[in-house]
Amino acid sequence: MATVPLTAAAVRAAHQRLQGAVLETPLVPSPWLSAATGCDVRLKLENLQHTGSFKFRGACHALHCLTPAERQRGVVAASSGNHGLALATAARALGTSATVFVPESTPVAKREAIARRGATVEVHGADCVVTEGRARQHAAAHGQVYVSPYNDAAVVVGQGTVAVELLAQWPEVETVYVALGGGGLLGGMALWAATAKPALELVGCSPLASPAMAECVRAGAIVDVPCGPTLSDSTAGGVEAAAVTFPLCRDLVQRYLEVDEAAIAAALVGCLEHQHLLVEGAAAVAFAACLADRARRGQRVAVVVCGGNLPLATLRTVLATPPSPNAARR
């Protein structure tokens, strides 16, 4: 794979490279959040991106950076959700093959969704760390490129194109709430914002049950952070050693907030009721943080709606027991 630097120039190049391959997602007003917060709040609708999440940007860009020989050999990933779906879709569009390893806990419906996009799905391991190790072994043994969901420079700058669009659509925006898992989306957006609009405040939003990257930033190093179950399953889990996203989040992101499961569930229901948008748990984390933030500095606020792939069973559970929101924690 071609070497991709972690620079604003690389994000711009990715934006140009992806023209016609990814959708420019709309930025729309949120009367609900505006009334609730007293701010002018707008939503960047990445839930309308191909495959239903921002992940398609990074996966597609990584595949565009492959050499012809690498593309011919195919790519490998470990994922139980959006990254696997995105990589499979991008691989099929570019005429290469993809093998996606999923943990044993991955629901059959998710396995089938990835397979329908043309990938070979391999089930391995009860833990996602074991699954990823097997995927990396498979890639090395077959001379294939392993594409990480976040620990990959080509993926990170591809995700950063969200910020390129957002700042072009609304140059006056002052604060942006972004769901935080491994930091690919937040880190990529921060790369662009640091050059394009240094005064922009980026707020990394995590579930209180799984705040790995935020805790690593507070510790000043990548550390082991206990992570529990959360509605925001696509942001859950630890941070890889030497992850390329860590210094980006440490150095370029202004604030971090965590919200509990009650707040996430309430934001998910509120978004459906007031905004008529079905979003996944990670997107609801950003909504919840925006709602609960007591230190909001800007009056022009954007929330990145990172994805809309919510399992039906999860939606039924949340709707059956609508909770009350709780305050964010810093």
Burial code (b: 16+ CB inside 10 Å, e: under 16) for 15-32 equals bebbeebbeebebeebeb
User: What residues are paired with 42 via a beta bridge?
Assistant: 29, 302
**Mean pLDDT, residues 265-282:** 96
254/259 Cα distance (integer angstroms): 17
Residue 327: the pLDDT is 46
What percent of the chain is modeled with pLDDT above 70?
97
211-240, pLDDT tens digit by residue? 999 999 999 999 999 889 999 988 988 898
Q: Yes or no: say if 58 and 14 are a contact pair by the CB < 8 Å rule.
A: no
The DSSP symbol for 294 reads: S
Q: Any idea which of 120-124, 138-142, 178-182, 324-328 has the lowest mean pLDDT?
A: 324-328
Q: What is the pTM assigned to this prediction?
A: 0.94
Summarize pLDDT for 308-317 with one digit per residue, the tens.
999 898 999 9
For 212, residues 6+ apart whose C-beta sits below 8 A from its C-beta are 181, 206, 225, 227, 237, 238, 239
Residue 52: pLDDT band by 50, 70, 90 thresholds? very high
Half-sphere exposure of 269 (CA within 13 A, CB side): 17
Higher-pLDDT residue of 302, 2: 302
When pLDDT is cut at 50, 70 and 90, the band that residue 5 belongs to is: very high
Q: Could you tell me the pLDDT band of residue 101, with boundaries at 50, 70 and 90? A: very high
